Amino acid sequence: MNSIGRVTQLKADFFNRDPRRVARELLGKLLIRKTSRGVLAGRLVETEAYLGRHDLAAHSAHGITARTRVIFGPPGHAYVYFIYGMYECLNLVAEPKGQPGCVLIRALEPVAGVEIMQRRRPTAHTLRDLTSGPGRLTLAMGITRAQNGADVTRGPLTVRTARRNDPFEIETTPRIGIRHCADWPLRFVIKGNPFVSGSRATRLPRD
């Protein structure tokens, strides 16, 4: 808490709901990562919901395995998986323990620790390249499978409400890069935000 506004850390109850609701309400919140080098923070501008039942695009679709165990665990924990031999992606677990469901974090707007992020992302030549993609933001924030299963309601990786948060519209689209259930409207973005992933043309159609 501080003099400018009310800042609260999201608790387990926030995540203990339908992933669609969690994904929408995560927009505009801050992902906070404390490292030995300093504090990194990013505003969530793009999320995707992965449902527990009948969602064949979700890793949890085929039951509990060594990898998907965390998705079936308690809400408010991190599910970090390795993909394409190179990248790691961050999800936040939703739904009560025993019921699968999670939210993929697809893009952030850098808020604090930009210099540290740039050091971790030498190939990013612009500010928006830093964290505009699920693989990019984990690199920038130093999130790896070491954080898999971590409790996000406490500890060095957390989510908080923003001190100041201008009103925004939420745009809903199909999810990116999946084969199954490819037309389900489960991707949520802050409309018009330049830090959303994808090409410039896709994001900013000329006016």
**Residue 2 binding DNA, by CB under 7 A:** no
> Is there binding between residue 129 and DNA (CB under 7 A)?
yes
The yes or no reply on residue 114 touching DNA (CB under 7 A) is: no
Cα torsion through 128, 129, 133, 134, rounded to 10: -110
Look up residue 160 and give its two tokens: 């908080």
Please give the torsion angle defined by the CA atoms of residues 102, 22, 89 and 120, in that order, rounded to the nearest 10 degrees.
-160
**Least CB distance to DNA at residue 43 (A):** 17
Which of 45, 136, 158, 159 contacts DNA by CB under 7 A?
Answer: 136
Chosen residue from 175, 187, 189, 196 binding DNA by CB under 7 A: 175
Q: How many residues at the interface with DNA, by CB under 7 A?
A: 43
**Does residue 27 belong to the site contacting DNA (CB under 7 A)?**
no
Contact between 66 and DNA by CB under 7 A: the answer reads: yes
Q: Which of 1, 123, 126, 167 binds DNA (CB under 7 A)?
A: 123
Sites for DNA among residues 76-95 (CB under 7 A)? 79, 81-87, 89, 91
CB of 14 vs DNA, minimal distance in Å: 18
Which residue, chain included where needed, has tokens 């299963």? 149
Stretch binding DNA (CB under 7 A), from 37-45, 110-118, 164-172, 175-183: 175-183
- Residue 183 and residue 32: Cα distance in Å, rounded? 32
115 contacts: CB under 8 Å, gap ≥ 6: none
Q: Which positions ≥6 away from 69 have C-beta within 8 Å?
A: none
DSSP E strand boundaries for the chain: 30-35, 38-50, 78-83, 87-93, 102-112, 157-160, 170-173, 187-190
Q: Are 138 and 84 in contact (CB under 8 A)?
A: no
Interface residues toward DNA, by CB under 7 A:
48, 50, 57-60, 62, 65-68, 71, 79, 81-87, 89, 91, 102, 104, 121, 123-124, 129, 133-137, 175-179, 197, 199-202
